[in-house]
Amino acid sequence: MSNEIIKLSGVGMCFNLGIEKNYSFKQAFVDGIVNKNHRSKKDNDFWALQNISFSVDSGEVVGIIGSNGAGKSTLLKIVAGVMKPTTGKIEVNGNICPMIELGAGFDGELSARENVFLNGAVMGYSREFVNSKLEDIIAFAELKDFIDVPIKNFSSGMIARLAFSIATLVEPEILIVDEILSVGDLAFQKKSEEKMRSMIQGGTTVLYVSHSLETVRALCDRVVWIEHGHIMKTGATEDVCNDYLQYVTGRSLEEIEQEQIVKNRIQKLAANGGVNTVNGGIYYDLGNGYNESDKINYQFSVLETNKVFVKLSKPMSAVRFDPAEYVSVSVSGLKIMCGCDIDFEWDEKAELIRIDAWKMNSLDPKCIIRFSEPIDSFYMEFDISVNQ
């Protein structure tokens, strides 16, 4: 038995751009002045969506991404039943809560209380039911002190909060969301996202449109990418988001990932109070153990991958690597290339045997690097992050 709750088959949506006006003597005079040829109705047709086909299973969270004007909001309005498609067929098996244009049905002359009842009635709820939920709606919207104020005096954020609270009055089978997790301040954004997550965990099916790929990645099981009214790709969230990023930036995935690595490191730098380097070193044992007199000092970066060529005073079969002094750090991505000189001419006889005493996430991190035979130089790469 099919578990599909939404199914679109060859859906298309055509609009008339409104270039064709009621023709009159006045219009003919204006056209004559601007030397404008009279256009036919056919020339005014604009296909916002063409041949859109995909399905959504019950309980699934599907993201819709694409550039501005791609047709994302039009698609949601068709699924919500606000628009009837020009071509194709759509099947929806469940009650829908559309969060597309929050506050679109509000009356500015009415108070917040009156608009709650008005919108509740439009959504099909009885007065008794809305009245039983009124305190919860106002509390969630954080408008207790403004419940009897006409909403024409509200800020856009206050209106959006009220609309979101009404829209989530009950948990529907299908939730349609168009960029509404950015309403209000940061605290309310977090609260609205938590509310949406609770609805998802309760089994609500979600169609979610957003330009925030970070949020799409966090919420969605699958993604549909639409561009110029056509489906470009559907599939796993990470794959589709990566392809979309490459499309809009014109850069390779490797370049995008490298930029994100740099951004993450800058954020870590800010979190670490501005620490961008740590003092560390390579110790070698000349018969008296590892001590300060037999040490090569380094300053390692926490902002970029450290690439270090180590030249010892004499061949050694083991060295101790201390990435930081008196600073709690984590080291990742450690790579050792042994038996090379500064021009990377390799001594193929020498090999890295093992790394002992690995304590790379502590206040005093260190490890012993052992080689198959004594060498006087090696190359290492690694990343460092300062622990909180």
Which pLDDT does position 374 carry in this prediction?
Answer: 84
Q: Are 10 and 85 within 8 A, CB to CB? A: no
Reference 316, options 384, 271, 375, 265; nearest CA is 375
Structure confidence by residue, pLDDT tens digits, 324-349: 877 777 787 788 877 554 444 444 44
Q: Are strands 222-227 and 230-236 parallel, antiparallel or unpaired?
A: antiparallel
What mean pLDDT is predicted for residues 10-24? 73
Q: pLDDT tens-digit profile of 98-123?
A: 777 666 678 888 998 998 898 888 77
Q: What is the pTM of this model?
A: 0.58
Residue of higher predicted confidence among 283 and 181: 283
Tell me what pLDDT residue 344 has.
42
Separation of alpha carbons 122 and 155, rounded Å: 23
CA dihedral over 357, 360, 361, 363, signed as positive or negative? positive
- Domains plus CATH for the chain? 4-258 (3.40.50.300), 277-386 (2.60.120)
200 vs 31: CA distance, rounded Å: 55
Q: Which two tokens stand for residue 330?
A: 């984590």
Helix, strand, coil percentages, rounded to 5, for the chain: 30, 35, 35
Q: Residue 159 belongs to what H/E stretch?
A: helix 156-167
State the pLDDT at residue 346.
42
Instruction: Report which listed range, 65-69, 196-200, 328-332, 337-341, is most confident.
Output: 65-69
DSSP 328: -
CA-to-CA dists, residue 71 to 48, 209, 231, angstroms: 6, 11, 10
CB-based contact 56:92 (threshold 8 Å): no
d(CA 187, CA 24): 55
Q: Which amino acid is at 16?
A: N
- Per-residue pLDDT band at 234 (split at 50, 70, 90): very high
What pLDDT score does 348 carry?
45
